[in-house]
Amino acid sequence: MEEYRLLHLIGQGGMGQIYLAEDTLLERHVAVKFVAMVRPDARARQRFQVEARAIARLSHPNVVAIHRVGDLDGRPYLVTEFVRGQSLEALPKPLPWKQVLHIGSSLARGLAAAHRGGVLHRDIKPANVMLTDEGQVKLLDFGLAKLLAEAPSSDGERLESPAQPPVSPLSGAGGLVGTPLYMAPETLQGAAATRASDLYAVGAVLYELCSGVAPRQTASPSASLEEWTELEPVPLRQWVKEVEPRFEAIIARCLLREPGHRYASAEELLGALDAVLDERAPGDIPEGNPYRGLQAFDANHRTLFFGRDAERMEIVERLRSGPLVVVTGHSGVGKSSLCRAGVLPSLVEGALEDGRTYRAIRFVPGRAPVAALAAATAEALGKEEGPLTEQLWNDPQGFCRELRVGLERNTGVIVFLDQAEEFFTQAPPEEALACGEALGWMLQAATGLRVLVTVRGDFLSQFAGLPVLGDEVPRGLYLLRGLSPAGARAAIVEPARRKGVTFESEAVVEALVSSSDTSRGGLPLLQFAMAELWEARDQTLQRIPASALATIGGVGGALARHADRVMASLPPAQIVSARRVFLRLAMPEGTRARRTRAELEATVPQVGPVLEGLVRGRLLVAREERGETVYEVAHEALLHGWATLRDWLEADAGKRPLRERVEAAASEWVRLGHAPETLWSERQLAEVRHLEPADTSPLGTHFLAAARASVRRGRIRRGSLTAAVPLTLLLVLGALRLRDGWELQRKVEERLDAAKVEVEQGRRARDEAARLRTEAFARFKVRTVATSAEATERREEAERLWTQAQEAADRTEAVLSKAAQILEGALTFGTGDGRVQELLGDVLLERIQLADAFHQPAPHRELMERLRSYDPDGVREARLKRPPSLSLTTVPPDAMVELERYEDEAGRKKPVPTGVLRRAPLTSVEITDGPGSYLLTVRAPDRAVVRYPLLLVSGESVSLALWLPPQREVPEGFVYVPPGPFLFGSTAPDVLRRGLLRSTPLHEEWTGAFMIQRTEVSFGEWIRFLDSRTSQAERDRRLPRSGGAPMAIQLQRGADGAWTLTLGSGANQVSAKEGTPLRIPGRPRAQDWWRFPVMSIDQHDVDAYTAWLAETGQVPGARRCSELEWERAARGADGRSYPHGELLSPEEATIDETYQRKAFGPDEVDAHASSASPFGILNTAGNAYEWVRSTSSEDEALIRGGAWYYDAWIAFAPNRTVVEPQTRDPTVGLRVCADAPRALLP
């Protein structure tokens, strides 16, 4: 400890000794804590290091920072910041409830940051909370109680009797960790600490601060331990008459005995506390129209900005614990308005609560982002613009230092970059790089600098690629979803109410909410319609009448007029292209189609500026899907209510079949290498003579031009005579060509040599990429039991290797691409040197193999097209498509085997027969369809049908032995999954994969044999479990229940023994008794709720249910699925995005859009057979999340699969959602797995 000088002892206790020390390097005071571990062995010290490092990673104003972790002579110690102030224990109590409310908000903030980092406190009490001299609240000793418990001590205290209520920490061999007076009932009874137990302790501390006594201090001295732990606190109002009822209710909810009834997270608790603190002041209401139309809200309109309070508070909280938040989402979802009118004003008014006054630098990149950032900085900070511009170009770090000049301890700067996609749509690349680097250095600067960014989702991966800044993006990512129905209602009603204007009826409001479509970018269009409604209000009655909605033609009518204005603003040439875009995005039957940018570029020339103009005009929505930008019409109303588009569709109806014929013929022409015999005849061309060039894609236009040229050449040949060429002319030309040929051949040799150097360098980089990729995947595959902290370290090491592998692959691609350019240049000399084409073919082949190794289908497709041009004999393409062979034996023998190949069809993977339909065994059967994704289906009498998805690669020989279990050994409703490999993880850009999906890169994994339930567990099945419980207390504990968002659920047993399910609350509540269908308003029919998936059950309930199935012999070996088993069952072998392919429509699963975000709730468990997985599993996308067992960490509680309340992105097959074990959520259910019967193989 040479850099720390101990000054004197300032405290000691059960945790150990605490010294005031001097940091001799940084010349500051610190606290050094020697932790009381009795004779820790090497394992205990290692675990302490890992756990303590996780705690040390916490960086939050409300958490005492840990500077260093180590051990001295085998004794662990921590170096923390030295806090000047006093503990809450030392404060005179009771405190005014308003002061306690502020303390509670700060406590919840610090705790939320810790829980996000995977760290529990385990011993929250007044003595572990400091109030600094500056009035800031700081939590001490995070997780140290657990660290102490890792080294069992014979001196550990035991809780014998509450006669003298214990207030000292407990930690012993039994794992009881904490201070009993503040411990949750379940932890006192021996359960492991959880986030819910931390929240209980917060409630107990706040109760004591308000009342002067802890909740349990009201117990009788003679009470037993059981009575003491089950004590209901005296209502706080009996101690503090004037306490705000909502604050009292918050504390009471924290202190509920049942963990699932407390707040679901510290973030939820923080939101509730901040809602009491954040009573919106009336403020100055701007004059004029309270709705912004297509303009974003800004700070001047914050008093009229509604519907986003929860999101605003969450982003502010994220900025308290980190320097960067990147708000991303679909275009039109409201990112700019949320930041301008919600987040920034809160920050400027001191919402970070770090004692600083913040000034905001706001800029939009535009065409000159460097100048924009320099000008905004100069204006906000009173500096000269010229020197700032110079620094941005030449010294980005110097620019950051300049920002800090003059910043005092109590001042700070928030930089707000709005519409960061303009870096890539308008700005020169070098300016985007310069600004990105400067913003990145800001994040590494001193405290007092924060960066807030909005970026469209389809540009997120490009934004994350900016230097310096990009590495920080995954940690700061915030995905903004569409407004909830409640949020949309607030955005509609509240601005008018602020102006003293009401709506004539609730029906008007409901009509507007139902047509808002805010989840798909319709928020600006709703605001536009509201602005027109405001102008049509009855100014005498100060009311918006129902007739006004009809006058403007509803949302659709307002949109139609706006759409015509947008089209009129486009240059004439772009109007033609815009028409073609809309015709590609609107289906003849009046529905919206989604097209990728690549698809639109293939059919509409120079479409980029047109797309950007239509997105800016809010007529199109752009979003990121599986690494590609996808466009769609912004609102269904445009398809039906915009007369211009209807006219286009009607005029196009007759041309569509002709255009489709042309496009099909053009594709075939390209596939066959522009073979002349595939060009159309004069008669065929006559049939399409009415098509304009704008009616077909560039490829179609090229094909028709080639066909017409061919027809003309034929006429000339038939009408002309062949003329002899004079011999002398031939001789002269020959001599000239010979001389030129020597010179050209010399140039070819030079380029060949240069290309070979590049190819050799590329191959070395390729080998390095392969090595790093293999090492990274080996780390990702490690399955040893680990704590969350150990798993985090292992995952970070794997991610580091994966990043290096990708960088090596990028270098490989860059070098091989350069070699290809050199060789293509050599081909232009026309010498016919076969070596050039041979090497170029090899280079393209290696680039294709590289793209395949890193699962990059888009480069694969583009490179395959190029390869066909330089591989005329097809040798290399054949190498990629060599038929694999399959050998198969089965038990029992002579089973019937069918092999199908998955073909892509409109984003879905459809199984197509291959012609292999015969009895086993199969011996080296050549699969003539080539490599790809296949499905084996094996059947035998009295045996379970076995499905085996598999990926076959070029030329490989696969040998399989499949055992078909007797049908009687597979429980009814279950599917047997044989052992085998599959692709696990995601190909999404790293910023999305790590920040949102929490998934690994796509790689091969393996599972043994197991069984899995075909459907989710239903309410009917769960009720049979409840009926089997002999204890009323056990039955009550296992009841599904939820009283909060997004939907209340209550399952009750009546006096007659019949069960009733109730969904929702208030006016939206529906219920049905056992045997009676449930009708959810807005759905086409009543449904059998007995077959709805059970929801609002926690992990402990799940384990109790599966144990019951196993113990009663209904499902031997029943258990939660591992996440590997779940993902294999959900997507098969080929790494598809959804169970049935790459796209998920609202008709194929129960997601938020299935019932237009109105009739929320689940569907029956056997619905949506069209999205069944390759194993025949139903509803793994949407309906209800499913509890699974994490294979990464023993501490990680995990759910998979999406739900009825969330969109298709959440239902993405590789999406991993981490929750608390005690989570009871109305979107979370269960699917059961079980150990497979023992296979009997010869």
Residues shown for the chain: 1242
Handedness of CA 731, 733, 735, 737 (dihedral sign): negative
Helix (H, G, I), strand (E, B) or coil at 1052: strand
Map tokens 């979370």 to a residue: 1228
Residue 20, φ and ψ in degrees, nearest 5: -80, 130
- Give the separation between CA 337 and CA 346, rounded to whole angstroms: 13
- Give the separation between CA 847 and CA 862, rounded to whole angstroms: 11
**Cα-Cα end-to-end distance for the chain:** 65
Any idea what the Cα angle at residue 900 is, between residues 897 and 906, rounded to 5°?
A: 160
Helix (H, G, I), strand (E, B) or coil at 829: coil
- Per the annotation, does 33 bind a ligand? yes
> 1064-1091 burial, b for 16+ CB within 10 Å, e for fewer?
beeeeeeebebeeebebeeeeeebbbbb
Q: Which residue, among 161, 153, 214, 210, has the nearest Cα to 183 in the 3D structure? A: 214
- Give the separation between CA 136 and CA 1057, rounded to whole angstroms: 55
| Residue 558 near residue 564 (C-beta atoms within 8 A) | no
Peptide bond into 892 cis (omega under 30): yes
- Give the separation between CA 1085 and CA 436, rounded to whole angstroms: 53
Q: What's the DSSP call for residue 943?
A: B
> 440-461 burial, b for 16+ CB within 10 Å, e for fewer?
bbbbebeebbbbbbbbbbbbbb
| Residue 581 near residue 597 (C-beta atoms within 8 A) | no
- Give the separation between CA 882 and CA 1168, rounded to whole angstroms: 37
In 570-631, alpha helices (H): 572-585, 597-603, 608-616
The alpha carbon of residue 608 and the mean position of all alpha carbons in its chain are separated, in whole angstroms, by 27
For residue 1107, give Cα distances in angstroms to 1013, 1037, 1100: 15, 16, 11
- Give the separation between CA 217 and CA 232, rounded to whole angstroms: 11
Any idea what the Cα angle at residue 554 is, between residues 549 and 558, rounded to 5°?
A: 110
The catalytic residue among 123, 1101, 1134, 1207 is: 123
For residue 988, give Cα distances in angstroms to 595, 1133, 1213: 18, 18, 12
- Give the separation between CA 181 and CA 205, rounded to whole angstroms: 10
1098 has catalytic annotation: no
From the CB of residue 991, how many other CB atoms can be counted at a distance below 10 Å?
23
- Give the separation between CA 123 and CA 106, rounded to whole angstroms: 17
Query: Annotated binding site for ATP, which residues?
Result: 33
Query: Annotated binding site, which residues?
Result: 33
Active site (catalytic) residues = 123
